[in-house]
Structure 1
Amino acid sequence: MSEEWGALPRSRAAWLCALALALALGAVAWLWLGRSARRRRRRLQQVGVVSQLFLYPVKSCRGLILTESECTKRGLSSSGLRDRHWMVIKKDGHMVSARQEPRLVLISVAFEKDHLTLNAAEMKELHLPIRVCKTNSIYNCRVLGHDIQGRDCGDEVADWITTFLKSTEPYRLVHFEDSMQMRTSKEEYPAYDCDDQVAYPDLSPILLFSEASLEDLNGRLEKKVKVQNFRPNIVVTSCGAFEEDTWDEILIGNLEMKRALACPRCILTTVDPDTGIITRKEPLDTLKSYRLCDPSEKHIFKAAPLFGQFFGILKTGSLKVGDPVYKMLY
């Protein structure tokens, strides 16, 4: 009799475990089916066409113009290069961008045979291995007040950059490695509406705006500005000015993205991409005259004007110039 009563709890425990497992599997299946059904119910509305793609290997330096690209969770990627995975720093680890050193925008970056090639006026071309020596020091860096690491790229490129910028302070170049802890966009900007993580971009893996928005701005300026003033990853044509502000979820190629936050603009937009001269005036002043946020969002954006949209990655994929841009409707 005691054996029968002793066996019952073990049997009941096994039954309860099986039931719990079945419920868990059922919940997973329900979520998956729900998402699948949601995807089946969605409608696609074409809202534009990709006209330009840019990848910026070194933060604040000139970008690479692409015809096609992969897009990972970290942003655009091409030929082993990832967007903003190199960065200039001070010796104490603080980021140096074109806000502090406007002439950074005059450094051209190319890629060939596992090397970055840096070029600038009156400087000898420099070849930098993509794979940084593992014995090089790791710096604890600061990007917009937040911590992140980077592996030092060596004295030769550090001296090259310092010389070109005519800096009295020595600068270093660091590279972000896969094993390092990324920055979480939402932790840095609580209003950011996606769970993205980034290396050295200011905030988001993707910045997008339309040609029509730039044309609208240039129609208000005496001296026109270029796409390069705003350093986007994706530029879209065949849509109206600032229509991108209303694209909550979009599909390009097989890449799916969600609008996470409007892009608040700073003095970097006033750096002339052809001369490296910063004015701290236009186009920022004109943007402030008509592109300030709604008063209800002033606690988010303060006095910064808005131009372009940050997008988070829902589903990684590939895209190319000429791809239709679809707004996903449910």
Structure 2
Amino acid sequence: MSEAMGALSGGLAAVAARPGWLWAAAAAAALGALLGAWRWGGGRRRRRRRLGRLERAGTVSGLFVYPVKSCRGVAVPRAEVTPMGLRSGELRDRFWLVTKEDGHMVTARQEPRLVLVSIGCENGCLTLNAPEMEKLCVPVHVSRKNPVLNCRVFGIDIQGRDCGDEVAKWITTFLNTEPYRLVHFEPSMVPRKSKDVINLFRATDEVAYPDCSPLLILTEASVEDLNTRMEKKIKMENFRPNILVTGCGAYAEDSWEDILIGDVEMKGTVACARCILTTVNPDTGVLDRKEPLETLKSYRLCDPSERHIYKSSPLFGKYFAVDKTGTIQVGDPVYKIVE
């Protein structure tokens, strides 16, 4: 700022002898430059104060979008981070949902073979593929003539546009248990409040069909440590993270509060309490109901003071909300923001 003040003084002295109109124009220009320098410098300082000190915590090793809840994830090299989760092109995280005909959600907890359905995107269509099934293409933007259904996700009402009879028949045929529908969450619809599921979220944190949070982060070291305790090795896919991080210790994510990846700022909210969905084999679609839950319960239960939040569920990975949107990619450093 002192340099800017010196430049302003020198500039004003140099033009003082000029005609009045010229002097006024030059003075205005110099003043504008000073104000610009002040705003730029002050903005930088405010930014640094808000972010605090950055401490390297790891590196992004994987990014995963799960367009249809409980179906296979899509690994992507880069993704847009929106307030409601990851987005890669037309694919948005858990913006599609399998439901019963009465609108109640269906996940791999009830239909484990959903994890065998692979999802993709081609020419504006969501693609579904599964063993012994023909690939099916469903328009991402379905006809406005299709009805909007009232759905229930963990006891909370939310809407979804029905994706049509063809995909409903495809899913019903593959699962072969009862009739099912596929619905899509549209931007004009009202999202669910994360706070309505877990009170520790903020009133501004919102989701479509995820359990409760826009983002789930897990470290490779946590999976590796769990596998040292397992008779049969478990895969990262059992835990369905959005962001996988390497280059840090096991369970480092537990302590991350505010983090920066690329130009995206994220806020740690709560640990992820694990359920029987983690016991579905991602390669076979078979529900085990035991592992890795039993092993996790032997060493990853919450502190007794937090039992009202997590009950008897073991904790593995951490949920994050989005403070500043942007784009992230595999290979990006992960920084802790230290006040």
Mapped to 2, the partners of 1:192 and 1:219 lie a distance apart of 33
Alignment partner, residue 39 of structure 2: none
Which of 226, 235, 248 is matched with 1:226 structurally?
235
Find out whether 1:77 has 2:87 as its counterpart: yes
CA 1:172–1:37 in structure 2 vs 1: closer, same or farther (change >3 Å)? closer
Which of 152, 158, 164 is matched with 1:142 structurally?
152
Which of 285, 295, 306 is matched with 2:294 structurally?
285
Find out whether 1:154 has 2:164 as its counterpart: yes
Which whole-Å deviations, capped at 9, do the CAs of 1:79-132 have from their partners, x for residues lacking one? Answer: 122100000000110000000000000000011110111101110110110001
Mapped to 2, the partners of 1:40 and 1:288 lie a distance apart of 38
Runs of 4+ in 1 over 3 A off after TM superposition: 32-35, 37-41
Find out whether 1:107 has 2:117 as its counterpart: yes
SS in 2 for 1:232: coil
Rg: which structure is higher? Answer: 2
For the aligned residues, what is the CA RMSD?
A: 1.7
Give the Å deviation of 1:189.
1.1
Mapped to 1, the partners of 2:265 and 2:103 lie a distance apart of 35
Mapped to 1, the partners of 2:263 and 2:50 lie a distance apart of 15
Which amino acid counterpart does residue 117 of structure 2 have in structure 1? I
Which amino acid counterpart does residue 81 of structure 1 have in structure 2? L
Find out whether 1:251 has 2:260 as its counterpart: yes
Counterpart contact for 1:194–1:258, Cα < 8 Å = no
CA 1:37–1:290 in structure 2 vs 1: closer, same or farther (change >3 Å)? same
Within 5 Å, give how 1:148-187 maps onto structure 2. 148-167=158-177, 169-187=178-196
Find out whether 1:95 has 2:105 as its counterpart: yes
Mapped to 2, the partners of 1:36 and 1:194 lie a distance apart of 25
Give the Å deviation of 1:38.
6.0
Mapped to 2, the partners of 1:183 and 1:64 lie a distance apart of 23
Which of 243, 263, 268 is matched with 2:272 structurally?
263
Which amino acid counterpart does residue 223 of structure 2 have in structure 1? L
Counterpart contact for 1:195–1:312, Cα < 8 Å = no
Which of 22, 46, 59 is matched with 2:69 structurally?
59
Alignment partner, residue 124 of structure 1: 134
Alignment partner, residue 314 of structure 1: 323
Mapped to 2, the partners of 1:206 and 1:93 lie a distance apart of 25
Give the Å deviation of 1:41.
6.3
SS in 1 for 2:298: helix
Counterpart contact for 2:193–2:203, Cα < 8 Å = no
Which whole-Å deviations, capped at 9, do the CAs of 1:12-40 have from their partners, x for residues lacking one? Answer: xxxxxxxxxxxxxxxxxxxx989936635
Which amino acid counterpart does residue 234 of structure 2 have in structure 1? V
Aligned residue pairs total: 299
Which amino acid counterpart does residue 246 of structure 2 have in structure 1? T
Which of 196, 206, 221 is matched with 1:197 structurally?
206
Mapped to 2, the partners of 1:40 and 1:201 lie a distance apart of 30
| TM-score, structure 1 as length reference | 0.88
Q: Which blocks of at least 5 consecutive residues in structure 1 are unaligned?
A: 1-31
CA 1:41–1:64 in structure 2 vs 1: closer, same or farther (change >3 Å)? closer
Which amino acid counterpart does residue 147 of structure 2 have in structure 1? S
SS in 2 for 1:88: strand
Q: Which blocks of at least 5 consecutive residues in structure 2 are unaligned?
A: 1-41
Which whole-Å deviations, capped at 9, do the CAs of 1:185-206 have from their partners, x for residues lacking one? Answer: 0122112357310000000000
Which amino acid counterpart does residue 320 of structure 1 have in structure 2? Q
Which whole-Å deviations, capped at 9, do the CAs of 1:219-273 have from their partners, x for residues lacking one? Answer: 1001111111000000000000001111110000001001011000000000000
Alignment partner, residue 314 of structure 2: 305
Which of 43, 58, 65 is matched with 1:48 structurally?
58
Within 5 Å, give how 1:232-243 maps onto structure 2. 232-243=241-252
Counterpart contact for 2:62–2:243, Cα < 8 Å = yes
Find out whether 1:214 has 2:229 as its counterpart: no
